[in-house]
Amino acid sequence: MTNTVPKILIVGGGYAGFYTAWKLEKLLRKGEADVTVVDPLPYMTYQPFLPEVAAGSIEARHSVVALRRHLKRSTVIAGKVTGIQHADKVATITPVAGEAYQVEYDQIVVTAGAVSRTFPIPGIADNAIGLKTIEEAVAIRDRLMSNFDKASTLPAGPERDRLLTVVVVGGGFAGIEVFAELRSLASSLIKFYPQLTFEDTHFHLVEAMGRIMPEVSLKTSEWVLKDLAKRGANVHLDTQVTGAVDGNIELSTGETIPSDLIIWTAGVMANPTVVRGSDLPVEERGRIRTRPDLRVGTDEEFVEGAWAAGDVSAVPDLTGGGVGGYCVPNAQHAVRQGKLMAKNITAVLRGELPKDYVHKNLGAVAGLGLYNGVFQSGNIALKGLVAWVAHRGYHGLAMPTWERKFRVVWGWWNNLWLGRDIVNLSTVQNPRYVFEEFAARPRPAQPAVTPPAEPREQGKIADQPEKVEADKEAAAAR
């Protein structure tokens, strides 16, 4: 007997994908559909926490949600979807181990998110790091802390300056948050390094536009600029990075900033692997063309059995508040679209009509380092400590699952009394270094002892009695 239970394939278990699967598990009746989630990572990443992870205010593992622990009725596959042939309702999965294979589905949900968008600037691809994954956040923290250790052993000079210089490219929310959080971390590290002073640390933010944080009002963004300046940070507005070869950041102003930590946060683009590898319709900016009801397609025509949400999709913003008429790529939308997606798929499976996605932007809240933040909703703006409390309150509650909320909030509580955790575990990248240094190894093979070609002269051996004994001992040891 063939299995006639509809198969729902979710491509990506991030914000939108995780919430779609989580909600489907609650909505679907037993045997109503099979849900499979494919993601190369075993967790959903709470990306708004990445700046705080980089600053050591949140433990890295606490800011991700294990898919297998919380998606109990779905099948989770560790791999990438590398092709979608929707005309045949077949997807290609490239698992993290083993050969690629194809699976059939009835409904596909494309929620593969976005990746850092870069430009072909010399040196950026090789020397910079993005901030879209937990691995990047951990690496940024490790680099800054290792550089403090290195710098503390060097005399003042260009190399020490380079190690203590951080450059962030992109003055959007993510860029400003990580910049301010790292400034806060660096300031708090100084007291542990008597060899270094605050003046030895250098922070530069480079933004191509004439302002930062387009999500908040100009007045609020100017307050952030003043606040950063007070904390010794340099912001280069109307400036572009033109090169980053050998760790030398070249700016369009002609300035050169040598730096060992270059963080690129200048925009995102819809996941190219999934978008290019599929036959689903794509709009001008490379996102999957999506309708307000989250089905793939246009107002006139939808693609049966195909859905998309989150950063990979272009969902029309029916409130009129979006950029170019579409929802901006943020978690606020991805979460809500994921939840509606589950409801709409369930409705369609039951022969009902899906509903349109409508969500009015709630505003924006950002952490700017310990005890400092900014919040804007309409004309209301909060700054400093009260905004920081709002930031932690909002994100503490928004973190999915009580298990994860508890870990994050508990960590904050501990830090409040115990201080920021400044342990640097960057050697985890080379975990065998001590073991390898002292591990006993087989001795290299000794050359075979060849008998002398010529008969020895009489009396020669008797002339070297110690050598004979030494040779005998060496042979015994072998």
Ligand X SMILES: Cc1cc2nc3c(=O)[nH]c(=O)nc-3n(C[C@H](O)[C@H](O)[C@H](O)COP(=O)(O)OP(=O)(O)OC[C@H]3O[C@@H](n4cnc5c(N)ncnc54)[C@H](O)[C@@H]3O)c2cc1C
Instruction: Fill in the per-residue mask, 62 to 81: x = in contact with ligand X (CB under 6 A), - = not in contact.
Output: ------------------xx
Asked if 39 is part of the footprint of ligand X (rule: CB under 6 A), the reply reads: yes
Report the C-alpha dihedral over residues 185, 15, 12, 425, rounded to 10 degrees. Answer: 20
Beta pairing class for 248-251 and 241-245 = antiparallel
Asked if 11 is part of the footprint of ligand X (rule: CB under 6 A), the reply reads: yes
Give the residue with the Cβ less far from ligand X, 150 or 405: 405
Give the residue with the Cβ less far from ligand X, 200 or 307: 307
Asked if 111 is part of the footprint of ligand X (rule: CB under 6 A), the reply reads: yes
Give the residue with the Cβ less far from ligand X, 46 or 161: 46
Look up tokens 């993510």; give the residue.
174
Give the residue with the Cβ less far from ligand X, 182 or 196: 182
Q: Residue 143 Cβ, how far from ligand X at the closest point, in Å?
A: 16
Give 92: exposed, middle or buried? Use CB within 10 Å, 0-12, 13-18, 19+. Answer: middle
Distance between CA atoms of residues 476 and 478, nearest Å: 5
Distance between CA atoms of residues 108 and 11, nearest Å: 7
Assess contact for 415 and 371: CB atoms under 8 A: no
Hey, which residues between 175 and 214 contact ligand X (CB under 6 A)? none
Asked if 42 is part of the footprint of ligand X (rule: CB under 6 A), the reply reads: no
Task: Give SS3 for 122.
Answer: coil
Nearest to 388 by CA among 224, 162, 214, 237: 224
At 79, the amino acid letter reads: G
Of the candidate residues 132, 141, 291, 336, the single one contacting ligand X (CB under 6 A): 132
Q: How many residues line the site for ligand X (CB under 6 A)?
A: 36
Look up tokens 């050998």; give the residue.
246
Hey, which residues between 328 and 347 contact ligand X (CB under 6 A)? 329-332, 334
Of the candidate residues 25, 34, 40, 405, the single one contacting ligand X (CB under 6 A): 40
Asked if 83 is part of the footprint of ligand X (rule: CB under 6 A), the reply reads: no
| 307: Cβ contacts below 8 Å, ≥ 6 apart | 107, 108, 109, 110, 290, 294, 295, 296, 341, 344, 345
Give the residue with the Cβ less far from ligand X, 44 or 262: 44
Binding segment toward ligand X, per CB under 6 A, in 10-18, 240-248, 353-361, 409-417: 10-18
Nearest to 38 by CA among 61, 67, 73, 6: 67
Q: Residue 175 Cβ, how far from ligand X at the closest point, in Å?
A: 8
Asked if 171 is part of the footprint of ligand X (rule: CB under 6 A), the reply reads: no
- Residue 282 is given by DSSP the state B
Give the residue with the Cβ less far from ligand X, 196 or 390: 390
Backbone angles phi, psi at 58, to 5 degrees: -135, 135
Of the candidate residues 273, 401, 415, 426, the single one contacting ligand X (CB under 6 A): 273
Asked if 38 is part of the footprint of ligand X (rule: CB under 6 A), the reply reads: yes
Of the candidate residues 28, 91, 151, 174, the single one contacting ligand X (CB under 6 A): 174
At 160, the amino acid letter reads: R
Binding site for ligand X (CB under 6 A): 11-17, 38-41, 44, 47-48, 50-51, 80-81, 111-113, 131-132, 173-174, 271, 273-274, 310-312, 329-332, 334
